Structure 1
Amino acid sequence: MGALQAMVVCLFLVRACTTNAQVEQWKSATATYSKETDASIITEGACGYGDLHKTSYGKYSAGLSTMLFNRGSTCGGCFELRCVDHILWCLQGSPSVILTATDFCPPNFGLPTDYGGWCNFPQEHFEMSEAAFAEIAGLHADIVPVQYRRVKCHRNGGMRFTVSGNSHYYQVLITNVGLDGEVVAVKVKGSRTGWIPMARNWGQIWQCNINLEGQPLSFEVTTSSGKTLTSYNVASGNWRFGQTFEGKQF
């Protein structure tokens, strides 16, 4: 192997190791759980997903503190969590769970960060479902120290597009997004239009002010890593508001 080839291989290995280190890096945070009657979080949250069982996230979902929520842009992202550094609360072996960001955990500045004000800025905190929390820690714990890292989202089936609005105000909720999970840009195209950029309304609900009724719909979705995927004609020309359609998957 020549000197130039050796240098290229060396640089490749360094970059690969650096990338892996970034993916593998654990960060410190805290976690609590929400006591729901069916042991999961199902109410409509700040990401706009509605019933989380219908959107496939179910008990493996979490509300994020201000620091992590990032004004809604983190909605749909996936995190691996494990309980650490507490022999009485953490389950033996520190098992981990994969969670999807589905809600915002609001701050409570009337309480200290170590007792009730878990989500006060700049705390990094996850509010989990009771069922998911029980997979990493004992339910007798009020708050546990955790480590977390971003991971790829593995989804079954394609991205889902739920349309709502009216003839002059068109909205789409995008769920079941793989890979990064976070959608940062959306375009829609009717059979009689070009590609129309949509604006984030809130969470993962996107909007535009145009009448798209009676036209087959296509969507172009871009994730936080810059990857773009186009799903052509996911909705036929006779689509109706309130319907959900499935497109391609990253």
Structure 2
Amino acid sequence: MSSPTLLHIHTVILQLFLLSTFVLSHYNYNFSSSSPQSNWLPACATYYAAANPHDSVGGACGYGELKKAGYGQATVGLSESLFERGQICGACFELRCVEDLRWCIPGTSIIVTVKNLCAPNYGFTPDGGGHCNPPNKHFVLPIEAFEKIAIWKAGNMLVQYRRIKCRKEGGIRFSMDGSSIFISVLISNVAGAGDVVSVKIKGSRTGWLPMGRNWGQNWHINAHLKGQPLSFEITSSDGLTVTSYNVAPKNWDFGQTFEGKQFES
């Protein structure tokens, strides 16, 4: 009688071991690889609900009215640890809810474009209310986007994220602002990597002139370029460059938006 009983005990132990291995493999993902296109990383996410869901502004990236800029509600604000002082504005991420079977909507994910900074609140500790304090990796979503992956009652949710290529309709947009010899250009609707790391501008009577980042994806230069058609050279964070010649016509003016070539997505 003892031998079958011992065999039964060993069988139960083996089953428990296999079950625990399955559970761990189901919930613990490989975060070690540096490839942003295929590997998921851990973070947390919360949401906000605007008083008027149609009144959504571009925040720290400077995109202005988001629906007009082509971003709508598929946007996200990042904590300081992810925001890279605004350089990452325009990048795209895929998010999915994990681990919490009460609140996650299984088999769902969302794709969002970075448009804002979630500022740190040093009145709280990172694990005591300061969700966006360093070193936390945190995403703040419009409630319309949050509810695609989790039930709103979840509050501060564990998520996984990965960087992906942006897919945009139409070309890169150049919105002109400034006055006299000060020119500010908001660059939006960027496909591919999505974020811009350098910009050059050229008039018909100049060579290529480097522009400086003012804030977010607003770039500026002090130069007299009125009365000249304008060309732009845009480089994204993956090192690719797109050159758009004569984007703005000779009679361009401040307040106008023009469309150039696009990165492959």
- Give TM-score, length-normalised by structure 2: 0.84
Deviation of 1:116 after TM superposition, in Å, equals 2.8
- Structure richer in helix, relative to its length: 2
Deviation of 1:44 after TM superposition, in Å, equals 3.2
Structure 1 Cα separation of the partners of residues 35 and 125 of structure 2 = 34
Structure 1 Cα separation of the partners of residues 213 and 99 of structure 2 = 39
Of 10, 31, 39, 2:45 maps to: 31
Extract unaligned runs of 5+ from structure 2.
1-32
2:25 corresponds to which residue?
A: none
Task: Tell whether 2:207 aligns with 1:201.
Answer: no
Structure 2 Cα separation of the partners of residues 185 and 161 of structure 1 = 14
Task: Tell whether 2:215 aligns with 1:215.
Answer: no
Give the AA of the match of 1:105: C
Cα distance change on mapping 1:121 and 1:139 into 2, 3 Å: same
Q: How does 1:34-53 map to 2 (within 5 A)?
A: 34-39=48-53, 42-53=56-67
Map Cα deviations across residues 141-196 of structure 1 (whole Å, 9 max, x no partner): 21100000000000000000001001121110000000000100000001111100
Percent identity between matched residues is 53
CA contact (8 A) 1:40 1:130 kept: no
Structure 2 Cα separation of the partners of residues 209 and 21 of structure 1 = 39
State how many pairs are aligned: 231
Structure 2 Cα separation of the partners of residues 134 and 146 of structure 1 = 13
Task: Tell whether 2:191 aligns with 1:178.
Answer: yes
Extract unaligned runs of 5+ from structure 1.
1-18
Of 177, 183, 191, 2:204 maps to: 191
Deviation of 1:114 after TM superposition, in Å, equals 3.5
1:10 corresponds to which residue?
A: none
Deviation of 1:37 after TM superposition, in Å, equals 3.0
- Give TM-score, length-normalised by structure 1: 0.89
Of 74, 88, 94, 1:80 maps to: 94
Deviation of 1:35 after TM superposition, in Å, equals 1.0
CA RMSD across the alignment: 1.5
Map Cα deviations across residues 200-237 of structure 1 (whole Å, 9 max, x no partner): 00000001110111110100000001100000001101
Q: How does 1:99-114 map to 2 (within 5 A)?
A: 99-114=112-127
Cα distance change on mapping 1:40 and 1:146 into 2, 3 Å: farther
Following TM superposition, where does structure 1 have runs of at least 4 consecutive aligned residues deviating by more than 6 angstroms? Answer: none
Of 89, 94, 111, 2:103 maps to: 89
> Over alpha carbons, which structure has the higher Rg?
2
Task: Tell whether 2:184 aligns with 1:165.
Answer: no
